[in-house]
Structure 1
Amino acid sequence: MVQFPFVTSAPGKVIIFGEHSAVYNKPAIAAALSLRTYLLVTKHDSDDIILEFPDIDFSYKWKKSDIPLKSTISNKLHEDDELNPELISSITPLLSTINTKYHYTAAYTFLYLFVSLCSDSIPSGLTFTVRSTLPIGAGLGSSASISVCLTSAFSYLNNHIDEATFKSADINLKDSPECSFIDSWSFIGEKCSHGNPSGIDNAVATYGGAVLFQRMSNSIPSVRTSMRNLPVLNLLLTNTKTPRSTSDLVSKVSKLIVDLPITSGLILDTMESIVKIAYNLMLRPFLDSESKQKLLELIRINHGLLVSLGVSHPNLEKIKLLCDEFKVGETKLTGAGGGGCAITLIDDDLVTPLKLENLIKEFDNLGFETFKTSLGGKGVGLLVTRDEKLLELMTVENFMSFKSRDEIEESIGCLSVDEWRYW
């Protein structure tokens, strides 16, 4: 029996190792961030299905009777995991008045998953309110995080999955069928957003921890291995706010490989060896001081290799130089480079809170946006509670009124509220 209100949540991600080399069938590792998306599901008296997404200034509603819900659904993926053309055709008229890209994508993904996973027996009068502590559109997996939140909420509503039971301190020894279901369907949600996603973002958002991913050539399926019990690692995430084109940067590396195949090939091979060493370190549910130092060294080396491929940027180098000057840890670009974000794995033996605050002030003065976050941690979660103080917060009005990421996390966040459970 579904209890209202309830909240689902899923993390964002950063690529730690394997940027660019992954394009050439080398392995990459991505890890969950403690920055997350939260989806509140509440009931109201009307027949409307309402989507509220204040972080992108979007609000929309549909009559439940206008949505092409079926009396029973198979919940099986369409052939070859492709989007269903008939379903797309049936929901397209419901999107006709939405004329901005972000809003259209959000509504399209919402409706596609809603119709796929919910029958007409679900309650009338539901509001879905999305809040994100993730920067949106910064290459940190925000769309996958949203897709996982929607998929888990719809699946819970229609009894495709059991209620979450794992506590934050529990170690998961094997993947649950609920996570497999959520991962598969959130990948479909990612197809609504991106067309041809790799699957790594939704995997990290579902399972948490870290994921090793490797595209294979020709018709061989990609390899995707979850490392759910990665110990939490403190991280500084700095967004340069510098625009860049991923496709241009990928093309730049491709040209280098054509022009200097032996030299660039050795760089890609070295990146692959870094991923393999890091994977063996990160598989353990603990990380001693020696292993942490090795991980820091791998981050430093990997950034140097990416610089040699020509995908860094002066702003990314400013971040690295300042982090080196303040001696807080090791820094590398994450994602395509050319701007975007840098990650700094904190060396907890060297860093004081005052040193970190002074560094962040330096970044603020340069116009960068910095987040104190962590790597690892749990994946998709569910909050169902009878606590009166929490229930007072779990209203559409309160969810909409949260003014900052910190306020969201402190009020309802996975690190602040003990009642969160995970699949």
Structure 2
Amino acid sequence: MTLSPPFIVSAPGKVIIFGEHAAVFGKPAIAAAVSLRTYLLVTPSDSKDEIILDFPDIGLYQSWKSSELPWDVAEKYQQGKPQPTDELVPEIVSEIAKLLTDLDKTIFYAAASSFLYLYVNLCSRHSEGLRFTVRSTLPIGAGLGSSASISVCLTSALSLLGNHIKPAFLKKDDLTSDNEDSLFIDSWAYMGEKCIHGNPSGIDNAVATHGGAVMFQRMQSSIPSVRTTMRNFPPLKLLLTNTRQPRRTAELVSNVSRLTNEFPKTSSNILDAIEALTREAYNIMIRPFFDEAARNRLRELFQINHGLLIALGVSHPTLERARMLTDEMNVGKTKLTGAGGGGCAITLLNDQVEDEIMKNLKLKYEELGYETYETSLGGKGVGFLPFNNDVSFNPENFKQKTSNEIEISLGAQNDGWKFW
């Protein structure tokens, strides 16, 4: 039986906690879910032939007539339960592009093309008109996997509407494992990511779908990449700090490559050291118990990894200020995450940090122009929240809520959520 709206789905963002930059050279890296999430509300639209994508956080509001979508082309490739192809289908991409000629921003085009590609593959020409309202409590474009989180939300919602998966049933404290429905969501969310990024690693959508943490390693082109999942990695308190310092990932990666060419022995030792600590972190994170000693060990590995990344030249004064403040106030250990050169820092907080100290730290960051988010590392992946028939839900109210209000009223930590 096809699920009827209204309902909400949600998926987490991610941070890379160990191994960034070394991953480019075939070393393992670890990415983990964060409790900051994207939320997608699905409601009926006013017209049965109208589908609407409403994304107020980036200023996107776009509608299409369902009857004008390239159903004939899409149906040639999908017989029975839809299966993702190795690459995007050029015919479908071309037809969708004709519907997006009025979009004048790259971010709008990427979001709309991903949505329509997933819609024509996972729904049918007979689907009722619907409105898809996206809200993200993740900073957009900060290297935290926001696009994958959105792609996972769209995929899970459209898969439910197309009757390709069953509604989620696991509670927030239940153990999770791979299952047919979560793997289906993951595989199609990857196609949505291809619409946005061209050739994504698949790590962001895997973490957004399954939660927990993933160790991944890019092998030589002829050998498949290795992914090892840590589904039930327990949530840890994390402070995420966005320095708002722009950075160019390509330049940072290029500079590390230059160092490896000019100082091959030194650089090789640094990359080997990053690999060693990443593997040690993995061995800690897969333990069935996660005690104080394990948490302290991870904090030490944060500190070491950051020092090695400084040696590779990918830190920045804004990141060093963030790290020095957490050291001075003794709240935890801080490292850069992602490409570096600005962007975000993550602090694995000590077990007991007084509220007053955290308040003072946030004020100091605010004076520097930084944004801070108290979140957690690990936790659940994509989830589903139905609305009972006797509950009225106002989508405009959902649009107007602040990120904090969304997390309080609808956050995935609340009862009622189920997970795949």
The answer as to whether partners of 1:27 and 1:212 remain within 8 angstroms in 2 is yes
Pick the aligned partner of 1:413 from 392, 411, 414. Answer: 411
Q: Which residue of 1 is the match for residue 225 of structure 2?
A: 222
Give the C-alpha shift of residue 44 in structure 1: 3.0
Give the C-alpha shift of residue 91 in structure 1: 1.3
Give the C-alpha shift of residue 285 in structure 1: 4.5
What residue identity is the alignment partner of 2:307? G
The answer as to whether partners of 1:25 and 1:217 remain within 8 angstroms in 2 is yes
Q: TM-score, normalised by structure 1?
A: 0.96
Distance in 2, matches of 1:104 and 1:218, equals: 30
Give the C-alpha shift of residue 387 in structure 1: 7.4
The answer as to whether partners of 2:208 and 2:382 remain within 8 angstroms in 1 is yes
Q: Which residue of 1 is the match for residue 114 of structure 2?
A: 109
Q: Which residue of 2 is the match for residue 35 of structure 1?
A: 36
Give the C-alpha shift of residue 371 in structure 1: 0.4
The answer as to whether partners of 2:45 and 2:51 remain within 8 angstroms in 1 is no
Pick the aligned partner of 1:343 from 335, 343, 346. Answer: 346
Give the C-alpha shift of residue 122 in structure 1: 1.8
Distance in 2, matches of 1:248 and 1:312, equals: 13
Q: Which residue of 1 is the match for residue 395 of structure 2?
A: 396
Alignment of 1:93-132 (within 5 A): 93-123=98-128, 125-132=129-136
Q: Which residue of 1 is the match for residue 84 of structure 2?
A: 77
What residue identity is the alignment partner of 1:39? L
What residue identity is the alignment partner of 1:395? N
Give the C-alpha shift of residue 286 in structure 1: 3.4
Distance in 2, matches of 1:398 and 1:411, equals: 12
Q: Which residue of 2 is the match for residue 380 of structure 1?
A: 382
Distance in 2, matches of 1:286 and 1:386, equals: 38
Alignment of 1:168-317 (within 5 A): 168-172=172-176, 174-317=177-320
Pick the aligned partner of 2:138 from 134, 140, 145. Answer: 134
Pick the aligned partner of 1:364 from 363, 366, 372. Answer: 366
* 1:211-253: CA deviation from partner (whole Å, max 9, x where unpaired): 1111001210001111110100000000110011101111111
Distance in 2, matches of 1:22 and 1:355, equals: 35
The answer as to whether partners of 2:45 and 2:52 remain within 8 angstroms in 1 is no
What residue identity is the alignment partner of 2:159? S
Alignment of 1:57-68 (within 5 A): 57-68=59-70
Distance in 2, matches of 1:325 and 1:243, equals: 26
Pick the aligned partner of 1:331 from 331, 334, 346. Answer: 334
What residue identity is the alignment partner of 2:196? S
Distance in 2, matches of 1:295 and 1:211, equals: 16
Alignment of 1:143-162 (within 5 A): 143-162=147-166
* 1:73-125: CA deviation from partner (whole Å, max 9, x where unpaired): 331122xx2010011122111111111111111111100111111112322x2
Q: TM-score, normalised by structure 2?
A: 0.96
The answer as to whether partners of 1:209 and 1:228 remain within 8 angstroms in 2 is yes
Distance in 1, matches of 2:209 and 2:409, equals: 22
Question: What's the C-alpha RMSD, in Å, of the aligned pairs?
Answer: 1.2
Distance in 2, matches of 1:233 and 1:8, equals: 23
Identity percentage of aligned residues: 59
Distance in 2, matches of 1:140 and 1:242, equals: 15
The 3-state SS of whatever aligns with 1:56 is coil
Q: CA 1:285/1:42 → structure 2, altered by over 3 Å: closer, same or farther? A: farther
The answer as to whether partners of 1:3 and 1:384 remain within 8 angstroms in 2 is no
What residue identity is the alignment partner of 1:400? K
Give the C-alpha shift of residue 284 in structure 1: 2.8
Q: Which residue of 1 is the match for residue 58 of structure 2?
A: 56
Distance in 2, matches of 1:241 and 1:411, equals: 27
For structure 1, which runs of at least 5 residues remain unmatched after alignment? none
The answer as to whether partners of 2:189 and 2:205 remain within 8 angstroms in 1 is yes
What residue identity is the alignment partner of 2:53? L
* 1:53-77: CA deviation from partner (whole Å, max 9, x where unpaired): 0000110100111112359633112
The 3-state SS of whatever aligns with 1:94 is coil
Distance in 1, matches of 2:259 and 2:335, equals: 21
Give the C-alpha shift of residue 4 in structure 1: 1.7
The answer as to whether partners of 1:42 and 1:395 remain within 8 angstroms in 2 is no
Distance in 2, matches of 1:218 and 1:228, equals: 27
The answer as to whether partners of 1:41 and 1:126 remain within 8 angstroms in 2 is yes
